[in-house]
């Protein structure tokens, strides 16, 4: 999609995704049905536009160029989302300051200092996806803004160290340190320290799940976990990895590059800090979870397997599959209709969990 940015103005792309639904269905091509699911027409249209633009797969580029391409793509599909206030921060870690960004919804900015202001509300610590090799504060800026506004919740996004410069367990260490810092400094962030949650997408969903488990095991407050198409299993390849690893955005090549960049050959793929699905026992007191998957996503089956594992252990879990979508739909909040509506629904569920 980044080629569209250089060949045409972003508004052209937004216009193409804003066409009437009947026209989008016609332009997208013949319906795609796999595993009893029909690909969403808007998603199919985006994939076709990507092919028409000659967009090279991110994984085919040198990693620095791939990072820039992914950032451009995210900005294109994310659009300009309103927010009350953002504040860039530096979270201290043993490896040095970690960049972070705080999002404050407009309603809370307007109420600040008012005699009628409500008590401090919840905080979501957000962990971006990108296979542990891509992604940053800007790649997930749009979705953090939307989640903050729609869930009426402050969001703290963490910019953890990436591979291959920093291999496992650097990302795990950074995110755990950042989460603990957020709990300890919640009041300074304008939030209630007893209402801190964690969430993320893809690799970030994996890291968020690890944080939630560790918080429960070590007695650190965590009230909720939002896991959007999380990677949970680097040991076994699920049926959905085999079925959807080509042609639906997240590819075998991308997943292999991510794994080989993040993990060393000697790293045990069954380590629960790598494959959270393989932890032997779910810790007592684990936070309730919303586990979101996409029907045409290679990570679908392992995300749903993890949801079942939590439910079998007595954890309060809601598992929601969006059958017509692909990996990455969480970022598509600035163009089209279907993806944005799904993310708005996720935000509403988050609000319901954090504002009971």
pLDDT digits (tens, 9 = 90+) for 139-158: 999 999 999 999 999 999 99
Measured distance CA(40)–CA(149) in Å, rounded = 26
Examine the residue annotation and report whether 139 is marked as an active-site residue of this protein.
no
For the chain, the structural domain boundaries read 84-110+119-354
Kindly tell me if the per-residue pLDDT of 112 is higher than 90.
Answer: no
Contact present, 200 and 226 (Cβ < 8 Å): yes
The distance of Cα 277 from the centroid of its chain, to the nearest Å, equals 18
Write down the catalytic residue from 128, 140, 278, 327.
327
Q: Would you state the pLDDT for residue 57? A: 87
Q: Would you state the pLDDT for residue 13? A: 73
* Least confident among 82-96, 114-128, 172-186, 250-264: 114-128
Four-residue CA torsion sign, 43, 291, 189, 192: positive
What is the average pLDDT across 327-349?
96
Kindly tell me if the per-residue pLDDT of 83 is higher than 80.
Answer: yes
DSSP for 16-63? HHTS-HHHHHHHH-S--EETTEE--HHHHHHHHHHHHTTPPPGGGS-H
Write down the catalytic residue from 74, 139, 202, 238.
202
Examine the residue annotation and report whether 297 is marked as an active-site residue of this protein.
yes
Phi-psi region of 190 (alpha: psi -120 to 50; beta: other; left: phi over 0): left
Q: Would you state the pLDDT for residue 356? A: 85
What is the average pLDDT across 90-102?
97
For 281-319, the pLDDT digits (tens) are 999 999 999 999 999 999 999 999 999 999 999 999 999
Measured distance CA(274)–CA(132) in Å, rounded = 11
Four-residue CA torsion sign, 141, 143, 148, 153: negative
Examine the residue annotation and report whether 202 is marked as an active-site residue of this protein.
yes
Helix%, strand%, coil% for the chain, nearest 5? 45, 15, 40
Beta bridge partner(s), residue 104:
85
Which CATH code, of 3.40.50.10330, 1.10.260.40, 3.90.25.10, 3.40.50.1820, is assigned to 84-110+119-354? 3.40.50.1820
Q: Would you state the pLDDT for residue 284? A: 96
pLDDT bin (cut points 50, 70, 90) of residue 92 is: very high
- Which pair of structure tokens corresponds to residue 103? 């999002």
Contact present, 170 and 106 (Cβ < 8 Å): no
Of 100, 105, 82, 204, whose CA–CA distance to 152 is shortest?
105
| Bigger pLDDT: 51 vs 206 | 206
pLDDT bin (cut points 50, 70, 90) of residue 114 is: low
What is the average pLDDT across 93-101?
97
Measured distance CA(318)–CA(63) in Å, rounded = 35
Measured distance CA(143)–CA(150) in Å, rounded = 10
pLDDT bin (cut points 50, 70, 90) of residue 115 is: low
């Amino acid at each position: 999609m980044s080629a569209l940015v250089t060949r045409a103005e972003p508004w052209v792309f937004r216009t193409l995704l804003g066409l009437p639904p009947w026209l989008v269905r016609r332009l997208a091509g013949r319906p795609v049905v796999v595993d009893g699911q029909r690909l969403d027409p808007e998603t199919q249209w985006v994939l076709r536009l990507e092919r028409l633009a000659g967009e090279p797969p991110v994984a085919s580029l040198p990693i620095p160029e791939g990072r820039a391409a992914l950032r451009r793509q995210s900005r294109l599909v994310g659009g300009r989302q309103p927010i009350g206030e953002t504040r860039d921060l530096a979270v201290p870690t043993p490896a040095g300051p970690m960049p972070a960004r705080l999002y404050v919804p407009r309603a809370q900015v307007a109420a600040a200092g008012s005699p009628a202001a409500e008590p401090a509300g919840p905080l979501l610590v957000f962990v971006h996806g990108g296979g542990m090799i891509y992604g940053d504060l800007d790649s997930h800026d749009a979705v953090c803004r939307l989640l903050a506004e729609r869930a009426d919740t402050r969001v703290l996004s963490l910019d953890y160290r990436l591979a291959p410069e920093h291999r496992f367990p650097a990302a795990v260490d950074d995110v755990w340190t950042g989460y603990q810092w957020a709990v300890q400094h919640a009041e300074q962030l304008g939030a209630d320290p007893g209402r801190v949650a964690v969430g993320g997408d893809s690799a970030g969903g994996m890291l968020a799940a690890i944080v939630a488990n560790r918080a429960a095991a070590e007695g650190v407050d965590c009230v909720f976990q939002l896991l959007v198409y999380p990677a949970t299993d680097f040991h076994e390849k699920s049926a959905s990895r085999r079925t959807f690893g080509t042609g639906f955005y997240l590819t075998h090549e991308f997943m292999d590059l991510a794994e080989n960049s993040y993990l060393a050959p000697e790293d045990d793929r069954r380590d629960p800090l790598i494959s959270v699905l393989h932890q032997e026992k779910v810790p007592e007191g684990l936070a309730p979870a919303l586990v979101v998957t996409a029907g045409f996503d290679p990570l679908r089956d392992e995300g749903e397997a993890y949801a079942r594992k939590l439910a079998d252990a007595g954890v309060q879990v809601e598992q929601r599959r969006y059958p017509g979508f692909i990996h990455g739909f969480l970022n598509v909040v600035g163009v089209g209709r279907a993806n944005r509506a799904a993310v708005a629904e996720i935000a509403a569920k988050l609000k319901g969990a954090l504002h009971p």
